[in-house]
Structure 1
């Protein structure tokens, strides 16, 4: 692992954060970020934080600070095709992936790095949006965590029933006729938080948090990503349909969902959590897509709830923090 840049001035993460470059098994270079637990807290383990589409390490600096105050290290990642990781198209503004399962190679590199860094155990998964789709497959395939939590997981994309067949058809034919690198219909090359005003956004009710994201984009435009490619859209649809048919992994799970969610599909989330033995679905009144970046009251409730959930499941004795 080689040192990579970490933009502390816009991340607002805990003291001591570092970033590294990692090379995945199939070649792309990704970026990994680690923030340690607050030194005044007992270390309760490490959270593997899986970001959503368009996201990047610095966006979770404040989340890492919230987790550090509750005793957890945070390890997070720039997935291939976004953040400072290798972009997969000549037009770096378009979100793209060859196969959705390629993200599992990024997960494998992340887990190998967590072992090499000897990060505190037990390990836990906290995954948002697209990271929730990546994370669900990773759990099914044996991700070594003691418990998991999701916020607005992308287990389905919210779209009108009438447009779903068109989305499948256009993305499938485009990907196979050589147009898979084109932006999906209705999306923009410009990154969301710059293209949309706070009043029109579907992410957060907190103006200051929206400005936090905008400041990151204007300060470091190389982090920015626009809409997805047709190939990405088709791969995501196929992956979500596949995962919907798989049983829930045997791990304690907590999922947070805003009642104002308009990006991912609440029905898919409700169905998944209804069938997750011992799983808990926590509704956030008025919350939108990014409840970890909502109002201070909502953020406190989410991080208190996630921390309590993780602490209640310390995993095997060998993984538990030493007194």
Structure 2
């Protein structure tokens, strides 16, 4: 069954190669929307699996997907459970909810094992953003020999910019979860975010395009996270930031760190890189959280680093 992919114009979906989309069952039967995009070239350079952030969707990456396919890659991605056009998990469909962080990880492994690896041109890489990075880091010790390279853009390894100090927010989330109130949203859903003062991007054009798309197709967005979601994120961040854990990850990794990130503290991304032997940190001064939605002068740095990091051939992936 083909799945809808929304666009502001026909050009947004005007890729040179083939496209396919649909739904697959997550590890526990959750209905998840996926899409594949193939390059025009006869022998692709490899495959890039995009792991999305919180409250994101396939549509948000169409510009990046086009650039990756033009560079010769097949691209595969899916909407995380509980958001966009994948199945919702709470009695309140607008709540950003997850029962267990491990569900994200199991969905991703299922997507790789059953849908990507059987058909994907080698080598296979991961390009993850924010929450997607936390998922990738959680799965990474099991990816040796399966994934050639990982790029982590603004990895979610800490939180800033909350209405209350993070320690207070985490305590509230933990107490609510223990009290059986895990599905309770932490905050009210507000009107659409205004560009002025937003922590995500300094690019008014990309911000405006996606705001328009989400305003037209409200089902692409969700509201505040639930207590359970935040509590699960807290535990996952604590786990992957342990030095002993990071030594188990051998997949070569590039960490793209926006230095004006209003969601993840830059210092936490530095700390991740300091204990992550397989990783290299690339700071991007002036950029905000969503590097691939940023102004061209920041976004171009990120894209150039990504394309340079991914090897040209499978042989280079093995020997490099």
Instruction: Calculate the TM-score normalised by the size of structure 1.
Output: 0.89
User: Following superposition of structure 1 onto structure 2, how do residues 48-127 of structure 1 map, counting pairs within 5 Å?
Assistant: 48-111=49-112, 112-116=114-118, 118-127=119-128
Distance 2:111 2:7 in 1: 21
Structure 1 residue aligned with 2:204: 207
| Match of residue 160, structure 2, among 142, 152, 158 | 158
The answer (yes or no) to whether the contact 1:252–1:278 under 8 Å persists in 2 is yes
Structure 1 residue aligned with 2:46: 45
The answer (yes or no) to whether the contact 1:122–1:319 under 8 Å persists in 2 is no
Structure 1, 96-105 or 242-251: larger mean CA deviation = 242-251
Distance 1:241 1:271 in 2: 12
Alpha carbons of structure 1 residues 83 and 319: separation in structure 2 relative to 1, 3 Å: farther
Shift in Å at residue 316 of structure 1? 8.1
The answer (yes or no) to whether the contact 1:127–1:151 under 8 Å persists in 2 is yes
| Match of residue 195, structure 1, among 192, 195, 198 | 192
Distance 2:317 2:57 in 1: 33
Alpha carbons of structure 1 residues 8 and 164: separation in structure 2 relative to 1, 3 Å: closer
Structure 1, 241-250 or 221-230: larger mean CA deviation = 241-250
Structure 2 residue aligned with 1:226: 223
Match of 1:76, SS state, is strand
| Match of residue 148, structure 2, among 146, 149, 161 | 146
Provide Cα deviations, 1:129-160, integer angstroms capped at 9, x if missing partner.
00010010111222621011011010121268
Structure 2 residue aligned with 1:288: 288
Match of 1:199, SS state, is coil
Match of 1:22, SS state, is strand
Cα RMSD after superposing both structures: 2.4
For structure 2, the 5+ residue unaligned runs are none
The answer (yes or no) to whether the contact 2:45–2:312 under 8 Å persists in 1 is no
User: Following superposition of structure 1 onto structure 2, how do residues 247-258 of structure 1 map, counting pairs within 5 Å?
Assistant: 247-248=246-247, 249-258=249-258
Shift in Å at residue 25 of structure 1? 2.4
Distance 2:316 2:67 in 1: 25
Alpha carbons of structure 1 residues 221 and 208: separation in structure 2 relative to 1, 3 Å: same
Distance 2:215 2:185 in 1: 22
Alpha carbons of structure 1 residues 47 and 260: separation in structure 2 relative to 1, 3 Å: same
Match of 1:281, SS state, is strand
Shift in Å at residue 21 of structure 1? 0.3
Alpha carbons of structure 1 residues 316 and 305: separation in structure 2 relative to 1, 3 Å: closer
Instruction: Calculate the TM-score normalised by the size of structure 2.
Output: 0.90
Match of 1:150, SS state, is strand
Structure 1, 93-102 or 140-149: larger mean CA deviation = 140-149
Structure 1 residue aligned with 2:12: 12
Structure 1 residue aligned with 2:180: 178
Distance 2:120 2:278 in 1: 27
Structure 1, 125-134 or 210-219: larger mean CA deviation = 210-219
Aligned length: 311
Distance 1:203 1:159 in 2: 11
Distance 1:156 1:198 in 2: 23
Match of 1:3, SS state, is coil
| Match of residue 235, structure 1, among 222, 232, 236 | 232
Distance 2:48 2:176 in 1: 38
Alpha carbons of structure 1 residues 61 and 319: separation in structure 2 relative to 1, 3 Å: farther
For structure 1, the 5+ residue unaligned runs are none
Q: Once superposed, which parts of structure 1, at least 4 consecutive aligned residues long, lie more than 3 Å away?
A: 8-11, 312-320
